[in-house]
Amino acid sequence: MNLRSLIPSGNGNGGTRVQAPANLFGSLQREIDRLFEDFTRGSVGAPGQAQVNLVPSIDVTETNKEIVIAAEMPGLERKDIDISVEDDILTIRGEKKVETRQDDKSKNYHVAERSYGVFFRAIQLPAGVDPSRIQATMSNGVLKINIPKPAKAEPKKIEVKEAA
């Protein structure tokens, strides 16, 4: 049996394939899809300003002693962020509030690309992490969470004794 006979041909002309024409409108379709995603992502809050759910970008690194999570939080302060651990799930929540001032009513927005709203990230931690030892710091819009790894359980040999 010839291996060519196992390859689907798509037509009945002896296994040769006709090349499909390149999709000339592929980049246009991707751009339209992106615009619809941006449009449907959130509702409008203040005039010209989008209200969306934010997803902070994170880096998770690991050493022998700890796990470090670095999350981008531009424009936020420590008081805007809440970190909790429950059932080995680390949760980072907060809100980036719309900056409103008295003179905003007289402004006509031409471009408003900044995002505002609630953000939420949940990260599974290894079993046995002690929440009281987790430390978080924030500097230059980057939240850094240091999570000490739990001590590995040492295997214990159990002696088998004679039954009485």
What digits encode the pLDDT tens for the residues 90-140?
A: 999 988 887 765 566 677 777 877 777 888 889 999 888 899 999 999 999
Three-state DSSP class for 79? helix
The listed CATH number (2.60.40.790, 2.102.10.10, 3.40.50.300, 1.10.357.10) that belongs to domain 26-99+111-148: 2.60.40.790
Helix H or strand E segment including 35: helix 26-40
Residues 6+ apart with CB under 8 A from 64: 149
State the Cα–Cα distance between residues 28 and 33, nearest whole angstrom. Answer: 9
Residue 25 confidence class, pLDDT cut points 50, 70, 90 = low
Stated pTM of the model = 0.59
At residue 44, the pLDDT reads 43
Q: Tell how far CA 65 is from the center of its chain.
A: 24
- In this structure, the number of other CB atoms found within 10 A of the CB of residue 143 comes to 21
Diameter of the chain measured on Cα atoms: 91
Q: Is 83 a residue whose pLDDT tops 60?
A: yes
